[in-house]
Amino acid sequence: MLLHIPKVLTPEQVAQMRDVLDRTDWEDGRNTAGPQAARVKRNQQLTEEHPVAQQLGDTLLKALGRNELFLSAALPHRVFPPLFNRYCDGGEFGMHVDTAVRDVRGKGIRVRTDLSATLFLSEPHEYDGGELVMDDTYGAHAAKLPAGDMVLYPSTSLHRVNAVTRGARVAAICWVQSLVREDAQRTLLYEMDTALQALNRSVPEHPSLLQLTGVYHNLLRRWADL
């Protein structure tokens, strides 16, 4: 499932993050890439230990914890601390698949990457290029979203970031270990939850709502991977 999640951050939060990030010294993004990814990765990044990354990452994680659409679609069990990156001057990230398991440094925690998320911190008019392009069985899908919006997609997807030929593309990325490992099962649960919410708004007293809610939770109970 590929999902656009709007307004994860408010315009004020985006402006505050950009003010801090624009005054921060960036590092070569290849320092945090594996051998294969390093051959196609050309960007700037903050390491997860960087105090700015930790400060802004906490803000983003709190926002995700309040976002009903993210919680419904991702069913998060663990979220890898957000990393912040910057593409400019032709920077790009060639076609790749994200690492299957990531270690949270200093915490003794491993996160299985079921879902990847990119939160845009630059407005589309601020830069040329920089589209996040994902390939699946239905073809290529490009995302270049307003600042504060997020795209959520399976970490199994082949994807790339097109070269930025003008301006700078600033974004945050994180990975989610879901309660439900399989994308098809997560998608069914998300669609059922969306339908239940719509029914609850339009016919809140309908007796079938209780039965359908039970079905949702019994499926989640069956598929949850703890």
Residues at the annotated binding site for Fe cation?
A: 96, 98, 159
Nearest CA to 132 out of 95, 114, 159 is that of 159
Rounded Cα–Cα distance for residues 146 and 122 (Å): 7
| DSSP annotation string for 61-116 | HHHHHH-HHHHHHH-EEEEPPPEEEEEETT-EEEEE---SEEEETTTTEEEE-SEE
Find out whether 29 and 45 touch, Cβ atoms under 8 Å. yes
Q: Annotated binding site: which residue ranges?
A: 96, 98, 159, 169
- Burial grade of 10 (CB within 10 A; 0-12, 13-18, 19 or more): exposed
Q: Annotated binding site for 2-oxoglutarate: which residue ranges?
A: 169
- Burial grade of 8 (CB within 10 A; 0-12, 13-18, 19 or more): buried
The continuous run of DSSP H or E covering 15 comes out as helix 11-21
